[in-house]
Amino acid sequence: MAVFGYRKGKYCAEKVSVRRIAQSCGTPFYCYSRSGIEAAYADYVAAFAACDALICYAIKANSNQSIIGLLGALGAGADVVSEGELRRAIAAGIPGDKIVYSGVAKTATEIEFALRSNIRQFNVESEPELEQISAAAVRLGKKANVAFRINPDVDALTHEKISTGKVENKFGIPWQSAGKAYARAAAMPGINICGIDIHIGSQITHLEPYSLAFERVAEMVEQLRGDGHTISSIDLGGGLGIDYRNGAEPVPTPAQYAEVAMSKLGHLGCQFILEPGRSLVGAAGILVGRVIYVKRGSQTTFLIVDAAMNDFLRPSMYDAHHSISSESDGNEKSQVYDVVGPVCETGDTFGHERTLPQQSPGDLIIIEGAGAYGSVMASTYNTRCLVPEVLVDGNEFKVIRERPDYSDLIGLDVPWEPPDAG
Among all residues, which ones are annotated catalytic? 344
Same domain, 321 and 243: no
Query: Which of 277, 311, 333 is the endpoint of a domain?
Result: 277
CA distances from 374 to 104, 175, 253, 387, 392 (A): 22, 33, 22, 11, 17
Across 279-348, the runs of DSSP E, i.e. the strands, are: 285-296, 301-305, 324-326, 334-340
d(CA 36, CA 41): 9
pTM for this predicted structure: 0.94
Collect the ranges in the chain with pLDDT lower than 50.
158-159, 161-163, 165-166
The pLDDT of residue 115 is 98
The pLDDT of residue 157 is 52
The pLDDT of residue 419 is 84
DSSP 204: B
The domain tally of the chain equals 2
Residue 257's CATH number: 3.20.20.10
Same domain, 119 and 20: no
Same domain, 297 and 269: no
Q: What is the pLDDT of residues 1-21, one digit of tens each?
A: 589 999 999 999 999 999 999
Q: What is the domain extent for residue 192?
A: 48-277
Across 135-284, the runs of DSSP E, i.e. the strands, are: 144-151, 173-174, 191-197, 233-237, 271-274
The pLDDT of residue 332 is 74
The pLDDT of residue 422 is 56
Q: What is the pLDDT of residues 186-227, one digit of tens each?
A: 999 999 999 999 988 878 899 998 999 999 999 999 999 999
The pLDDT of residue 171 is 60
Same domain, 271 and 293: no
The pLDDT of residue 245 is 87
**Dihedral angle over CA of 281, 121, 126, 82, nearest 10:** 50
